[in-house]
Amino acid sequence: MENLKEKIAIVLVGGEKEEELIEVFKNFRYIELRIDEFLRNFREEDLIDWIKRVKGFGYNKIIGTVRWYKEGGSGSFYIPDKKRLEIYRNISDYVDLIDVEIKSKICENVIEIGKSKNKAVILSYHNFKKTPDYEILKKIVKIGRRKGAEFVKICTKVNSSKHLFTLIKLTYEYSKKMKLIIVPMNVSVCERLIPLAFGSHFTYVSFSKKLSPCQPTYSDIKNLTNLI
pLDDT digits over 179-216, tens only?
999 999 999 999 999 999 999 999 999 987 777 767 88
Gap between the Cα atoms of 189 and 202, Å rounded: 14
| Whole-structure pTM value | 0.94
Give the pLDDT of residue 167: 98
Q: Which domain holds residue 45?
A: 2-227
pLDDT digits over 64-82, tens only?
999 999 998 878 899 999 9
Gap between the Cα atoms of 127 and 155, Å rounded: 6
Q: Residue 82: give its domain's CATH number.
A: 3.20.20.70
Could you tell me if 135 and 103 are in contact, meaning their C-beta atoms sit under 8 angstroms apart? no
Gap between the Cα atoms of 59 and 164, Å rounded: 33
- What is the count of structural domains for the chain? 1
At 113, give phi and psi (nearest 5°).
-60, -45
- List the one residue out of 160, 113, 166, 162 whose CA is nearest residue 140: 166
Give the pLDDT of residue 1: 41
